[in-house]
Structure 1
Amino acid sequence: MSTDNRRAVAGVSEILVMYPLDVVKTRIQLQVGSGAKAEYSGVVDCLTKIVKNEGPSRLYKGITAPILMEAPKRATKFAANDEFSKFYKNLFGVDKLNQPLSILAGASAGAVESFVVVPFELIKIRVQDRNSPYKSVPDAFFKTVRNEGVLALYNGLEATLWRHIVWNAGYFGIIHQIRALLPEAENSTQKTINDLTAGAIGGTFGTVFNIPFDVVKSRVQNTVIKPGEVRKYNWTLPSLALIFKEEGFAALYKGFLPKVLRLGPGGGILLVVFTNTMDFFRSFHYGDSKPVEKKLD
């Protein structure tokens, strides 16, 4: 099996296993209120109620969108981070990336990635909602375009930019630091373990930093505005302030647990796929069958 095929299989497998957590995250983020007023009190309660009241298949409704998004999303993240890493090394005249430049390269890659993922994310969010009027991903896509226009697919772009810039900055920045602390890998197995460890920690920290922007993104993208109506959630920073004012600080971290359960381990898998992919292309470019270690530098 080729490297591209393994990368695709790994990405799709992660989605198939972890997607129910994404549905739970979205449901919790979209609910306004907490405590007795909240429909879902936590991850287990949300999973249980969805299965009981809507059926197990509901946990996978909308999964087509992230599957279609997987290849362009990963390709963009990998390529953009690698190119920005080279660019900033040349710009600042250094041979290796330090942590600040790793953060800067990651943030830049996240910004580019946002433009790729935002239409897929919007459709996914709208289909995942408990009260969604859409039967499927294609139904949501065509009705959104017909009723709101093509540009509506990019609603929430600003919040998505914040979310991806912050996550990638935290992810690649933490990876740089953790790799420096881990013992040098002496074989491919140890290298994979190091990557899984660094990536999982990076994914966890990235989630800690970006979850408030994810809450805003979910609410912006799930809002369908009728003529004459005013958006409650629009620009990111005012929306963060509004959620904090109306629901408290904890509301900014709604959906954190299911998200970190997915993106913590997912960050480790992502880094292993990233380094293996770059090893493949480097060995192919230099005509050497021996994998070339890639340390995001």
Structure 2
Amino acid sequence: MSKQQEPIPFSVSFAAGAIAGISEILTMYPLDVVKTRVQLQDNTAKGADRYNGMVDCFRKIIKNEGFSRLYRGIAAPILMEAPKRATKFAANDEWGKIYRNLFGVTEMNQSISVLTGASAGATESFVVVPFELVKIRLQDKKSSYNGPIDVVKKVVASDGPLGLYTGLESTMWRHVLWNAGYFGVIFQVKKLLPKSETKQGQMANDLIAGSIGGTFGTILNTPSDVVKSRIQNTVRVKGVVPKYNWTLPSIALVAKEEGFAALYKGFLPKVLRLGPGGGILLVVFTSVIDFYKKMKA
């Protein structure tokens, strides 16, 4: 984020991030369901079970499973979005302070923006992994779970409490890459955009910068997101090495078996969500921070 006129308390950044995250998820969640369905699909899917892109996936879900299926598993993301997005923005601000002090600079620059974003992404990963695992298991078409609590019970029963952290390494890859791209690009785009003198102009700049940042972050992290979905959807069997286990070997395996393009499965719904979604996040976050400053004044 760009330098604030005065330090923003951690609690305020946390609350602003939470409000921004919930606003984004309520607007964009169906695209996330479609993205996950397409990512989980491998070469064995045939006929009615095969999705030929985003529109076909939307059509088949609504036709065969009902419109409400597009909101399947939303409880976990809603519960996750507050701590997830709050951690993202609050950690980004806190890491920014740490790195500015460490490198002896008073203002953010491009390199520190990327570094703080990556650090915030790594921090965020520890918060979101259990929620992501529950969401992925529920979004799968073949899911037999009866809601989020059932997922948690069955995973803990079979794999222990640490089973809820299946896919932590791939989640870190996903979040480090997305946040580094997102915050790094936001910094650069804001430098290039004309300085706004009005509230409406500032919101427009935030929407543009956040959308471009979200798009760039999505381009960077989609391969790790594809394998993360598969890793977290794999039910562990004792004595059997999972087909998808670690990020880089899984990326190589998907590229080998399904072609390089498979690493960008679900890219269209993902970028349609996280491009504009990144703009929504930044606009809402900035608006809440501005409201805090106004109330304090």
Give yes or no for TM over 0.5.
yes
Q: Could you list the per-position Cα deviations for residues 246-296 of structure 1 after superposition, in whole angstroms to 9, with x for gaps in the alignment? A: 111000000100000110111011112232344455566xx4x2xxxxxxx
The structure 1 residue matched to 2:219, chosen from 202, 208, 211, is: 208
| Secondary structure class of the residue paired with 1:162 | helix
Structure 1 partner of 2:120? 109
Of 124, 148, 170, which residue of structure 1 is paired with 2:135? 124
Cα separation, 2, equivalents of 1:134 and 1:70: 22
State whether residues 16 and 86 of structure 2, in contact with CA within 8 Å, keep that contact through their aligned partners in structure 1: no
Q: 1:69, 1:125 → 2: CA distance? A: 13
Distance 1:115 1:133, change over 3 A: same
Task: Please provide the CA RMSD for this pair.
Answer: 2.2
Q: Deviations over 1:160-218 (max 9, x none)?
A: 00000000000001011100110011011111110010000000000000000000100
Q: Which residue matches 2:88?
A: 77
Contact 2:133–2:164 (8 Å) recurs in 1 = yes
**8 Å Cα contact 2:17-2:86 kept in structure 1:** no
Q: Does the aligned pair in 1 maintain the 2:20–2:285 contact within 8 Å?
A: no
* Post-superposition offset of 1:39: 0.6
CA contact (8 A) 1:11 1:70 kept: yes
Letter of the aligned partner of 1:68 in structure 2? Answer: L
Equivalent residue for 2:70, pick from 53, 59, 69 = 59
User: Which residues of 2 match residues 45-194 of structure 1 at below 5 A?
Assistant: 45-194=56-205
The residue type equivalent to 1:67 in the other structure is: I
Listed one character per residue, the Cα deviations across residues 7-63 of structure 1 (whole Å, up to 9, x for unaligned) are 756543432332111111001000112997871001111111111111112111100
Task: State the match for 2:43 in structure 1.
Answer: 33
Taking a change above 3 Å as real, the CA distance of residues 236 and 6 of structure 1, as seen in their structure-2 partners, is: closer
Higher relative contact order (CA 8 A, sep 6+): 2
Q: Is the 8 A contact 2:120 2:176 kept in 1?
A: yes
Q: Please state if 1:19 is matched with 2:23.
A: no
Contact 1:160-1:214 within 8 A present in 2 as well: yes
Alpha-carbon distance in 2 for matches of 1:257, 1:34: 22
The residue identity in structure 1 corresponding to 2:42 is V
TM-score after normalising by structure 2: 0.90
Q: What amino acid sits opposite 2:39 in the alignment? A: Q
Q: Structure 1's 126 and 226: CA in aligned 2 closer, same or farther, altered over 3 A? A: same
Q: Quote the residue 1:228 is aligned against.
A: 239
Unaligned stretches of 5+ residues in structure 2? 1-11
Are the aligned partners of 1:123 and 1:141 in contact in 2 as well (CA < 8 Å)?
A: yes
Work out the CA distance in 2 between the residues paired with 1:260 and 1:140.
28
- 132-141 vs 193-202, which moves further: 132-141
Query: Percent of counterpart pairs with the same letter?
Result: 65
CA distance in 2, matches of 1:81, 1:175: 13
Deviation at 1:70, TM superposition (A): 1.3
